[in-house]
Structure 1
């Protein structure tokens, strides 16, 4: 692959729509793969970016299925679906035909194209590697919110976010991988997306996983004010479990420096409430019926069970968040005191 000509965002929810819109705004070629009303609105009117320093609607191509995409050897697939949907999305798109520059079919997407896994948690890379040859992990530090079809809130300004990228699994051609990552940085950074290639990408994702154990609290409580002790307990438990399992975790000071570059602040967006939650909170707000807590708090519980350690706080949060999604509950369905009792923290 030479320089990528197009970024195909598979499962363009909040982060995929935000990245696609920001790149399209800078003249990069993108394709947003979405479904339902969100896909229809973006196809008709474009994607509206709502940032602290701008509001702009950007025209973007949209597809709902592989036969609408005409994939080529110059495409890069960016997996931005939620982890529970990742396998189905990759199964559908991995079998899509890819064409060379003369229009001749040269193979399947999973065999030919690079796949960037821009998901929370650390399970998406294994899901992708079961299906694709060339997989790259992406640690996303870019708060985005999708509540209304066709509109995405991006809270970073003037930079939009930081993205640590690196190859996942064996690389038969490190030089080609380095070239691809350099090209991505060249394309993304004018859009305010700071790209940092690293061989320690999974260490960054494990560090973010610890932070993301708080996502379930946002989803359940709505407002986590006064529940700092629960957040601290979940994160401390995660830190202990990952350390006991001897998994790579970027240090706190290194993470703080990496996620606080000059020019990146997370600010209020005009016309939007100050209290906006993360991906799990958004899932309950939109009533999707599913939530990714199994791959966040549940990842900590899974790791603990593998090594014979208890993780009652994260296991409990996983079960409560899953039930809330299944029953269609909204953020704020439980109080902090009720949550403490449920988790045995009183």
Structure 2
């Protein structure tokens, strides 16, 4: 057994991302324990382990893991690293308990948004950031569907590296992920937040409209507004190693996607907004758009499309319309 295989990895949260990470890491020989708030999830993981299916390749992976209900004092003191995989809207609630349950253990935020690390740093001594680039859908309390192996970027918060960063990168590489190590993870996090703006039209627009000009133009214009806002605010949004498309490149990619045949979803793997609308749960994506709106207001940059898309997302959530409920032109143009 290699030193990496002896590492004990705690995963707080058994949503889609947590399950993918858990399956892959456990399959790579790491000792994985989930900390969950659902008794159903804890029982399912303890009884049957965790399962991942890739409908693209036909891969089916099962792995053993353990699960603990809640976060008790010192519950994870023997862990090598903690992966925080709860929704961003839950970070402030769970952060104090993490500081108590995992004393002196580095905690990595495997989450969207740009605020989680700062919130967590108030309660733990060492915070890492992780950018997760893989769409995945939880289909059972202990099962998830995804495509391929995915890409992750890791780094110390707000910048720098360290042995714990290198060790976590090694864990993810052993699990088959495409891994980047960032000297300034906040820049990668801002880039990912902008990319996540496109998740809203992906979830809201009916599938047959994913091959329309209105659909791809909505996504491109959301990014253009974000690019202008971040430039005015002096915020860098970039890839640590150039392997993730820049905002300029992503805008061009979206506008070319119709001709390239890449604008439509090909397989039944859905993002977190889609799943939240289906299950009538809280939708964290509204906060991505609000960040852009607030920065735009502060720096005098108009963001009308982000405002309209946010309004339509809130309507779908509040009225229980579910995912894939709108035409593409309803997002691109008000009215």
Instruction: State the TM-score, normalized to the length of structure 1.
Output: 0.80
Equivalent residue in structure 1 for 2:164, among 176, 180, 185: 180
- Please state whether the residue corresponding to 1:66 is helix, strand or coil: coil
Provide the residue aligned with 2:330 in structure 1.
338
Structure 1: 5+ residue stretches without partners = 99-108, 259-271
Report 1:103-142 matches (<5 A). 109=103, 112-142=104-134
For the pair 1:165 / 2:158, whether they are aligned, the reply is no
Mapped partners of 2:240, 2:156: distance in 1: 23
For the pair 1:213 / 2:197, whether they are aligned, the reply is yes
Kindly indicate whether the alpha-carbon contact (under 8 Å) linking 1:80 and 1:119 is maintained by their aligned counterparts in 2. yes
Q: CA deviation at 1:124?
A: 1.5
Kindly indicate whether the alpha-carbon contact (under 8 Å) linking 1:63 and 1:69 is maintained by their aligned counterparts in 2. no
Moved more, 9-18 or 35-44: 35-44
Q: CA deviation at 1:251?
A: 6.2
Distance 1:191 1:47, change over 3 A: same
Mapped partners of 2:169, 2:201: distance in 1: 34
Q: CA deviation at 1:20?
A: 0.8
Kindly indicate whether the alpha-carbon contact (under 8 Å) linking 1:285 and 1:331 is maintained by their aligned counterparts in 2. yes
Equivalent residue in structure 1 for 2:137, among 140, 145, 163: 145
- Provide Cα deviations, 1:304-325, integer angstroms capped at 9, x if missing partner: 1222322121122223223322
Distance 1:58 1:218, change over 3 A: same
- Provide Cα deviations, 1:69-97, integer angstroms capped at 9, x if missing partner: 7322543111111111111121332222x
Moved more, 48-57 or 62-71: 62-71
Kindly indicate whether the alpha-carbon contact (under 8 Å) linking 2:128 and 2:165 is maintained by their aligned counterparts in 1. no
Q: CA deviation at 1:16?
A: 0.7
Provide the residue aligned with 1:80 in structure 2.
85
Equivalent residue in structure 2 for 1:305, among 297, 301, 305: 297
Provide the residue aligned with 2:186 in structure 1.
202
- Please state whether the residue corresponding to 2:17 is helix, strand or coil: helix
Mapped partners of 2:329, 2:266: distance in 1: 25
Kindly indicate whether the alpha-carbon contact (under 8 Å) linking 1:204 and 1:255 is maintained by their aligned counterparts in 2. no
For the pair 1:244 / 2:232, whether they are aligned, the reply is yes
Structure 2: 5+ residue stretches without partners = 247-264
Report 1:29-44 matches (<5 A). 29-36=31-38, 37-44=40-47
Kindly indicate whether the alpha-carbon contact (under 8 Å) linking 1:147 and 1:285 is maintained by their aligned counterparts in 2. no
Provide the residue aligned with 2:277 in structure 1.
284
- Provide Cα deviations, 1:24-43, integer angstroms capped at 9, x if missing partner: 11220111123333343223
- Please state whether the residue corresponding to 1:146 is helix, strand or coil: strand
Mapped partners of 1:182, 1:252: distance in 2: 15
Kindly indicate whether the alpha-carbon contact (under 8 Å) linking 1:119 and 1:138 is maintained by their aligned counterparts in 2. yes
Q: CA deviation at 1:18?
A: 0.6
Kindly indicate whether the alpha-carbon contact (under 8 Å) linking 2:154 and 2:169 is maintained by their aligned counterparts in 1. no
Q: CA deviation at 1:256?
A: 3.6
Provide the residue aligned with 2:307 in structure 1.
315
Mapped partners of 1:38, 1:163: distance in 2: 25
- Please state whether the residue corresponding to 1:72 is helix, strand or coil: coil
Provide the residue aligned with 1:25 in structure 2.
27
Distance 1:306 1:131, change over 3 A: farther
Q: CA deviation at 1:252?
A: 11
Equivalent residue in structure 2 for 1:324, among 290, 297, 316: 316
- Please state whether the residue corresponding to 1:44 is helix, strand or coil: helix
Instruction: State the TM-score, normalized to the length of structure 2.
Output: 0.83
- Provide Cα deviations, 1:247-281, integer angstroms capped at 9, x if missing partner: 011169924479xxxxxxxxxxxxx9714321211
Kindly indicate whether the alpha-carbon contact (under 8 Å) linking 2:7 and 2:80 is maintained by their aligned counterparts in 1. yes
Provide the residue aligned with 1:12 in structure 2.
14
Pairwise CA RMSD of aligned residues? 2.7
Kindly indicate whether the alpha-carbon contact (under 8 Å) linking 1:41 and 1:150 is maintained by their aligned counterparts in 2. yes
Mapped partners of 2:182, 2:239: distance in 1: 15
**Which runs of at least 4 in structure 1 moved beyond 4 Å after TM superposition?**
none
Moved more, 319-328 or 309-318: 319-328
Provide the residue aligned with 2:254 in structure 1.
none
Kindly indicate whether the alpha-carbon contact (under 8 Å) linking 1:220 and 1:321 is maintained by their aligned counterparts in 2. yes
